[in-house]
Chain A
């Protein structure tokens, strides 16, 4: 069990892991990146942009750890800073105004832990992003390509639909952070965080098999999501999210 988790962590953290950027290049066109938080920073850990999916304009957010050492340093290993959440928030507000569905691609440890992010209101920015994603009047979709933990990942995952690669992970904290907080070695095995377990509780809606066909599976997942949610009113979208997460919380009582 612990080995299974270690294996998954190794896979999702590998430099050759497929990134959001690669998927964006293959499935979207007319991609236009939008930089900056409009205050003082442009966090490289968070990509934000507009693109066409087939003929529909969509907003894309993407976090990955970087594919080379230089990129990994620049992208802070995928730990989004307070300014990154401010950039993301700005981007989804525009998406809402211009009626563009929002897709997030994630492979990140969690939110950035640093003096600068704390000084710039990391807590508030994450809270605002989680709240906004929940109340968003356009459809949203989160695709966990790798892992994503804590409030830092929830800021994107608070969506109508969650799709996860079969080795993906989503938890309250990364396994390392969890052990550090509880001052114990292996605590993670009883905590549900794998795609299969999260699907069972209704949090993950669909699992992407990691075979040759990954891109076309993601393509179909996006299409299906748009078909299912494009025609819902803003009230219906908000209600669907509320019900989805209430349903997951209700699973707590059914566990054993």
Chain B
């Protein structure tokens, strides 16, 4: 037993189902068979995006609770916390991208699919307030299955209360770049996700308001295979660009550079 590796060496690709060896995934965790990017942990995202060791975590103001006594919710929270080693589906802090100091938020799809609840909403408002206060550009990695049903109307009201802070942020002239990653749906996409100055998406990410299954059931429509993919949204004019994660850090740096070029005080 002693020679068993701590982490499994093989994992399957969510898209093509093939078994891929850790070494085959490579630095950017892209499937060598179908080319789809693997969903990342918060740590992998931080490592891939920000200057080494530059991320400084900010603690979340509140902790999640099962206030409605919703069946199995308390268990789900505990399991998600054990699995991700995070308190909730968002991690916030400050970090550097090519020496630009930014406020950063990274949502976590491995924590109950990044669903938006009281704590996640508060975390997003917290990092927006921090960006406002310190006048830092805000870079937000969005991923969310939508509003978290287990907190009912309280999850829904994160949408308008986040938007109120985001509107102040944007009005104050602070730069806000959102990167939509797999998946970005419902309560997240219909609030802060698309409301930033720039909206980029990672390749192959699923992005939309209603889920495919719901659309098929309610409208009876046949949906194209590529429907709600980042590439499909780009074709329909809804994104600034689709960026492969291999190039994402460079693109973010370029965008930040372009907003400070000519800045006398920069």
Distance, CA A249 to CA B68, complexed state (A): 14
State the interface size on chain A (CB cutoff 8 A): 50
Is A114 in contact with chain B by the CB < 8 A criterion? yes
Whether, in the assembled complex, A219 has its beta carbon less than 8 Å from a beta carbon of chain B, the answer is no
Give the most central of B70, B164, B192, B193: most A CB within 10 Å: B164
- Report chain A residues within 8 Å CB of B225: none
- On chain A, the residues within 8 Å of B155 by CB distance are 172
Once bound together, how far apart are the Cα atoms of A43 and B104, in whole Å? 39
Cβ distance B105 to chain A, nearest Cβ, rounded Å: 17
A113 B67 Cβ-Cβ under 8 A: no
Contact bitstring B54-93, A, C-beta under 8 A = 1, else 0: 0000000000000111110000000000000000000000
Residue tally, chain B, CB below 8 Å to A: 47
For A123, list chain B residues within 8 Å (CB): 189-190, 193-194, 207-209
Q: Is A234 an interface residue (CB 8 A)?
A: no
Instruction: Give the residue name and chain of the A residue nearest to B171 (CB).
Output: A135
Cα(A173)–Cα(B116), bound, Å: 13
A-B contact count (CB 8 A): 154
Looking at chain B's contact residues, is the secondary structure mostly helix, strand, loop, or mixed?
A: helix
Which chain A residue lies CB-closest to B166? A131
**Contact across chains for A172 and B221 when beta carbons are under 8 A apart:** no
Q: Which residues of A, 87-117, contact B by the 8 Å Cβ criterion?
A: 111, 113-115, 117
Closest 4 CB pairs of A and B: A113-B210, A191-B152, A123-B189, A126-B190
Question: Could you list which residues of chain A lie within 8 angstroms of chain B, going by C-beta atoms?
Answer: 111, 113-115, 117-119, 121-124, 126-128, 130-131, 133-135, 150-151, 154, 158, 170-173, 177-178, 180-182, 184, 187, 190-193, 198, 203, 241-242, 245-246, 248-249, 252-253, 255-256
12 A-B pairs besides A151-B191, A245-B157, A249-B157 with CB distance below 8 A are: A113-B219, A123-B193, A123-B209, A131-B160, A131-B163, A134-B160, A135-B164, A154-B156, A191-B68, A191-B152, A245-B160, A256-B67
Can you list 28 A-B pairs with a CB-CB distance of less than 8 A? Answer: A113-B219, A114-B221, A115-B227, A122-B209, A123-B193, A123-B207, A127-B190, A127-B194, A130-B191, A131-B166, A150-B187, A151-B156, A151-B186, A154-B156, A154-B160, A171-B153, A172-B149, A172-B155, A181-B146, A190-B69, A190-B71, A191-B68, A191-B152, A191-B153, A192-B68, A198-B153, A249-B118, A253-B67
